[in-house]
Amino acid sequence: MRIEIVVFDGFDDLDALGPHEVFSHASHRLDGWSSTLVGVDAPGTVTSANGMVLTVSEVLGEPDLVVVPGGGWFVPGRGARAQADRGVLPQRVKELADRGTLVASVCTGAMILATAGLTTGRPAVTHPSAMDALEESGAIVRRDARVVDDGALVTGGGVTSGIDLAFHLIAREADPETARAVAAHMVYPLQIELPVAAR
């Protein structure tokens, strides 16, 4: 499974790096799995919401799973809000979803998916500060959930829920044993009940 996690100026650090850490550890145990941080438009430098500067060498391509982080939803011109307003990332993610790509979001990344129309009429979750906005967009908000799985759309709540979202997807798409082994390796106490593998 090729996993691409999209990063952009103003993304929340842990929204992207938490899942990336989990998926990267899993890739050492699962044949054909990989996790890559990618840009929206072109390779280059990206600065996170907390000032971390990183260089991405690839752009969003044709992954099996795309993960969209949040960050800065309530700051016009920054982070997830800027990406939603610009429209390029929502359109690209919608195109991938229409072709059958598994789409996931962390925190206010769900608002980028909402802008793409992907959460309308579907159960989803986001950061508590954006729950009302997500509901107003037409999503069926699961306010008490940490991870919401609606098949081809999986959303995670607050910042740290991205870690659990990654474990959820590993358990679902591969096996729960691998998810538990990676959690043990990372000394991470799972905050969710793992699903049974779909395969």
> Among candidates 125, 169, 180, which has minimal Cα distance to 5?
169
Kindly name the residue from 17, 38, 66, 107 that is annotated as catalytic: 107
Paired tokens of 157: 């709540």
| 59 is an active site residue | no
Q: How far apart are CA 97 and CA 99, in angstroms?
A: 5
The catalytic residues are 107
